[in-house]
Structure 1
């Protein structure tokens, strides 16, 4: 059998990832076997092992291929250093909501990570990775809140850690509930209104 070209190998890898995304979204990570993925992609299990060490590595590659909302938001906040801290915080959350609502691939992977990834061995690394990104996200929020306090833009009695946790809970809750029923509300419109209400309660009167 002739060796595959790089283009053919890349196409096979993408077809495996596409199949994995589809099945993970439909039936969850733990219920999806490598044989299921191979059948969906029209390849052998050997082809999967040629590209990925195991299901955990496949999950990692799936995450890396998608434009994830949190990463987009963190990039935005990093490039806006020195701006209005409160406006940055709002835009930080809104970027996550916009990417989730507008990018189908990012939305599907985000749904898998948040709703379809049970606490199984294959998903441990992914869970830890998501938790690490959450902590980084919250640290950036806390930094902006401290800047806002120094500028007198928000109440001095606010605890940055508590406020950052509140923002995460609001954002995560908006997305999770929307993923259950995307027709229930406009994620960006309602998310913007909710964040405006939350942030207005932090400002100095």
Structure 2
């Protein structure tokens, strides 16, 4: 299995976990949990595919991703109830930062494969990284975190995407670039959270 495939699967699982936790905190039933987890896991990639005119959508090609989220939603109630006692805010932030890094590099790599110019590719990475969370917050009747957090959330994604593009420009092995830039984005996000760095 290729590294980009592994990154894609990990990103979906992390995104779904974020959706599960948020939906359960809003006392949603299993349908609500599945819906929120689904749009968190697939929202950014779906918008990216639409903008890149990629058909069919990535989760339609790989129906096993959607089936996995469906099964996890069915068993999420007891799992989340158990995790509630051990999952801290710090762990949720780490999961969110990891999802941002994984989704962002998957998005920018997909855009480059589609032949997009560099700036557009970087924006596709940012969109893939943040839009699932935006949809999650909207469905949960919250102002999207990326718009209210005031920490450089999208900027971390943007910087990491450009790091990936520069590494590709200099001919660095793609798998190394993907892993390094996912780690860079995750680290930047966690550093801004830990130091409480804010914009404006």
Per the normalisation by structure 1, the TM-score is 0.35
Per the normalisation by structure 2, the TM-score is 0.35
